[in-house]
Structure 1
């Protein structure tokens, strides 16, 4: 869909979209509030686990159950979004997370119980994620998708960057339990905001007769992801880039300490540089994203995020590595906005939740693979070599995507249009 002739291009900018579209504004505000609270509680829980157990392994387990384990449930979490009314799914997920955080805050249970509660909260978050992405096309016009996705990315990433700073300021006054209570409150406020979003009923079932079971819907979602050319190329390309480059967080620490012989402040700057680039990238795309070609933006995002690591491995000083990682953040913002927008346009509404659920789950697995394989490479070689190998591998994956994506998009869009035409013929008297 294109804008009518003579329409002011500024109509689709982030500020106009937020001011004029109340349902999207509610979704955006809810996301920003709960992301801020989430980043607060992550800091608090890491400090609590480290302080009560004194073991780095316990902190690693906390991160594992919070990120990797729920990613394995991606096919099911996405199927829930396609099976039930989206607003109800989002509200229930936020309420569940709020109750679990409230329990954590009031009880501060021993480590095994704490890990179970954190894992359950993360599963609810993984159900919410594809539901919220699936809701965007129903809340904004098709020509506003680029700006809507950029605006969501800007708000949530800015919240994640701000959260640790707010946690550092609050902890001396309210303590671990107080910060966890604030996070619980953020989820309840988010649920309240989402109540104002209009009803978003699920699309009709892909089969005639009774709706298939949740497990069958999950299997159908996996089959769709693999059988649809554009979706398969986007998902495999994204996962390949993450599998190569995910290790950079660990490699940057070693680069600063062992290669540049710098202090902890340099480590913090390097790790924070990507976040700065991300926020700037989302801000630029929120303003100018409607002018960009999404396939080209996806390829550029893959390339910049990968070449950024390769050049970081060649950096001669902390300042050069800092610049490369900041630019790399721009690339990550581009690949996120482009992939979300392309999928929202190519995938039918009744399958969108499962596609996002499978994609986010696969990305989580790819990141875990990168941590393991990259860690072994880091131990065997050095941080510069690891970053160069990571960047080179991601660049190779980008080339494959650039060669295959245009044709895959043409085939997928043709199939989508043919399916829509068939539905219209079946519905006509």
Structure 2
């Protein structure tokens, strides 16, 4: 009943069901890019994970200043993540990929903070543990399956192609969610 009555929660649940299906590709590709594409070995893997940490740390400082338009920021962040993933997949320089991973993590961290805030605002406090637990359980299960699929896919497909497809998938999901929110909000107004 709570989800059915809130357009925001419907969009968030769509986000939480679709994004983990693609997120596994990105998680697996971090190491693959560092080792196979950029030939940077373990240092490259560590650097890419450090870039993710830098981006998440920066998103902490930014996200606490966001008060309005949180759903738009979250969907925009997802769209930006998709574009950045496509950029990483075509990058020829390790330093450029490093910087793109910082921006990617910044966009994702900011978007996730917005989504968590919206879930808290839209869900009665008595139901918040259930909703957050459900989102976490479903999201992590789908993420694990996506990572398994990514490993299988990389056996026969070039990493850059998988990365580009994953980035395009993020962008498509963002556009679908924005379209759904736009159509549903117009119907409510009429």
TM-score normalised by L of structure 1: 0.41
Question: 1:233–1:408: 8 Å Cα contact kept in structure 2?
Answer: no
Residue 139 (structure 2) aligns with? 363
Q: CA RMSD in A?
A: 2.3
How many Å separate the matches in 1 of 2:102 and 2:158?
22
Residue 300 (structure 1) aligns with? 76
**Which of residues 289, 293, 298 is equivalent to 2:66?**
289
Residue 40 (structure 1) aligns with? none
Note closer, same or farther for the CA distance 1:289–1:229 as it changes in structure 2 (3 Å cut): closer
**Which of residues 254, 279, 297 is equivalent to 2:57?**
279
**Alignment gaps of 5+ in structure 1:** 1-222, 415-429
3-state SS, counterpart of residue 40 of structure 2: coil
Question: 2:63–2:114: 8 Å Cα contact kept in structure 1?
Answer: no
Question: 2:27–2:147: 8 Å Cα contact kept in structure 1?
Answer: no
Where relative contact order (Cα < 8 A, 6+ residues apart) is larger, the structure is 2
3-state SS, counterpart of residue 92 of structure 2: coil
Q: CA deviation at 1:246?
A: 2.4
Note closer, same or farther for the CA distance 1:411–1:295 as it changes in structure 2 (3 Å cut): farther
**How do 1:5-24 residues align onto structure 2 when only pairs under 5 Å count?**
none
Note closer, same or farther for the CA distance 1:281–1:305 as it changes in structure 2 (3 Å cut): same
Residue 266 (structure 1) aligns with? 44
Q: CA deviation at 1:364?
A: 0.5
Note closer, same or farther for the CA distance 1:298–1:411 as it changes in structure 2 (3 Å cut): farther
How many Å separate the matches in 2 of 1:406 and 1:343?
19
How many Å separate the matches in 1 of 2:123 and 2:99?
37
3-state SS, counterpart of residue 98 of structure 2: helix
**Alignment gaps of 5+ in structure 2:** none
2:100 paired with 1:324: yes
TM-score normalised by L of structure 2: 0.88
Question: 1:241–1:398: 8 Å Cα contact kept in structure 2?
Answer: no
Question: 1:229–1:411: 8 Å Cα contact kept in structure 2?
Answer: no
How many Å separate the matches in 1 of 2:110 and 2:144?
22
**Which of residues 256, 261, 281 is equivalent to 2:34?**
256
Question: 2:62–2:110: 8 Å Cα contact kept in structure 1?
Answer: no
Tell which structure's C-alpha radius of gyration is larger.
1
Cα deviation, 1:10-61, whole Å, max 9, x if unaligned, reads xxxxxxxxxxxxxxxxxxxxxxxxxxxxxxxxxxxxxxxxxxxxxxxxxxxx
2:150 paired with 1:374: yes
**Which of residues 68, 81, 90 is equivalent to 1:314?**
90
**Which of residues 104, 111, 114 is equivalent to 1:335?**
111
2:151 paired with 1:391: no
Q: CA deviation at 1:297?
A: 0.8
How many Å separate the matches in 2 of 1:365 and 1:229?
24
